[in-house]
Amino acid sequence: MAIQAVVVVGLISLSGAVAVRMTRHGLLGRWGWIVANGVVVLGGILALAFALDWAAWLTAALFALLVVSPLALLDRARVAAQRGQWQKAARLHEWAVLLHPSPWARIGLRLRRALSTDGPAGYVAALRRIEATGSGKQKAFARLMLAHERRDWDGLLALARAQDVDFSEAKPREIRALGELGHLDEMVRTYADAEKWLLPQSRQECTLLVFAFTGRVEAVQQLLDGALSAMDDAAKAYWIAVARLGADRHDEVARATLRRLGETGASDGVRRSAAQHLQRADLAGETVPSRSEETERIVERLLKVSSHRLRGQQDRPPLFKANAKAHIRGFLLLALIILLALLQRYFRY
């Protein structure tokens, strides 16, 4: 009996920690996740009070069903979307919504479906419908995303700073807009102030922005080969070209890449980004602008952290290679273990 109570208390503590983490990082739709974790906590307390023999199993099942599974599915959907696998992303997101049917999760599903069926044009149309019919927060989010799609960096910067959109969505786009507009010192300071509050994935993406706009080509390549390897080929080519041009305004390889992406990029967003960046580079002059000592110190610190993390990953071989089939097998194994435990408990009586 004691072990049941210990497991339940551990899961309740874990649920509380997850809810606090989501609040701390300003996650979009965090109130839905707080409710889900609250249900786990309440279920654990009730199980301890009325079904102590089954308390650990019941609480673990709630935690897996309401928290772990939808988060894992949404993460897989994000990776699939980065790779341009829109139908797979929409399918995974749909499964996640079945377990976590919050308003923000359903909005995400609408956008995934629009991309998978009608491409970027459908995505923009879906955002405009949200802007017209959604709640105040949803309208602000749609306006932010539409400005990003238009590559309206001045508008994006203003919307990201308006504090109408949750931190996890607004801050990375503020950093991107500052970099695209050439405000590099301000971009680096903004990232340094926000770094500890960003989610791990957003932190990696913002680190890429800092390295690319400050011309750290090798660091950008390492991120694209490692933590951000799921990014599609056009995006990788864009960021490498931005980094090369940030290091040398006369880099003809970078200029040729941006011209090619501006003419034949797979999406309107990529074509606009490439054309605008090349135009701004021409207007900025032939020499790379100098940066403040504070900016250089921050970037050097980030380079050391990134290099240390990369060496750690290379020195530590993976215990297993994770893939979709491995996740499915893991879930099936967990279900089998729970079923065997239930049968054992039943036949004991």
CB atoms within 10 A of CB 3: 9
Residues 180 and 283 in one domain: yes
Nearest-CA neighbor of 40 among 18, 1, 66? 66
Residues 305 and 195 in one domain: yes
**pLDDT recorded at residue 321:** 46
CA distance 149 to 147: 5
Establish how many alpha carbons lie within 13 A of residue 95's alpha carbon, considering only the half-sphere containing its beta carbon. Answer: 16
Percent with pLDDT over 70 in the chain? 86
Residue 64 lies in a domain: yes
Residues 312 and 332 in one domain: no
**pLDDT recorded at residue 306:** 79
Residue 175 lies in a domain: yes
Query: Of the given ranges (9-18, 98-107, 315-324), which has the lowest mean pLDDT?
Result: 315-324
- DSSP label of 215: T
pLDDT for 76 beyond 80: yes
Residues 304 and 330 in one domain: no
Residue 78 lies in a domain: yes
**pLDDT recorded at residue 340:** 53
Range of the domain at 334: 319-349
**pLDDT recorded at residue 224:** 92
Residues 188 and 292 in one domain: yes
CB atoms within 10 A of CB 331: 14
Note whether 7 and 56 are within 8 A (CB): yes
pTM for the complete prediction? 0.80
Helical packing angle, 200-213 and 293-315, nearest 10°: 120
Residue 3 lies in a domain: yes
Residues 161 and 187 in one domain: no
CA distance 72 to 107: 18
Residue 94 lies in a domain: no
Count of domains forming the chain: 4
Residue 70 lies in a domain: yes
Query: Of the given ranges (78-82, 243-247, 302-306, 308-312), which has the lowest mean pLDDT?
Result: 308-312
Burial group, residue 280, by CB count within 10 angstroms (0-12, 13-18, 19+): middle
Average the pLDDT over 41-62 and give the result. Answer: 88
Task: Assign 70 a pLDDT band (cuts: 50, 70, 90).
Answer: very high
Residue 92 lies in a domain: no
Residues 296 and 245 in one domain: yes
Task: Assign 243 a pLDDT band (cuts: 50, 70, 90).
Answer: very high
Helical packing angle, 324-348 and 69-82, nearest 10°: 170
**pLDDT recorded at residue 285:** 67
CA distance 292 to 143: 33
Average the pLDDT over 114-135 and give the result. Answer: 91
Note whether 188 and 298 are within 8 A (CB): yes
CA distance 107 to 114: 11
**pLDDT recorded at residue 333:** 59
Residues 296 and 327 in one domain: no
Residue 46 lies in a domain: yes
Residue-by-residue DSSP string for 141-176: HHHHHHHHHHT-HHHHHHHHTTT-S-HHHHHHHHHH
Task: Assign 22 a pLDDT band (cuts: 50, 70, 90).
Answer: confident
Average the pLDDT over 149-153 and give the result. Answer: 93
Residues 120 and 32 in one domain: no
Residues 64 and 121 in one domain: no
Of 48, 83, 118, which closes a domain? Answer: 83
Residues 28 and 76 in one domain: yes
Residues 174 and 276 in one domain: yes
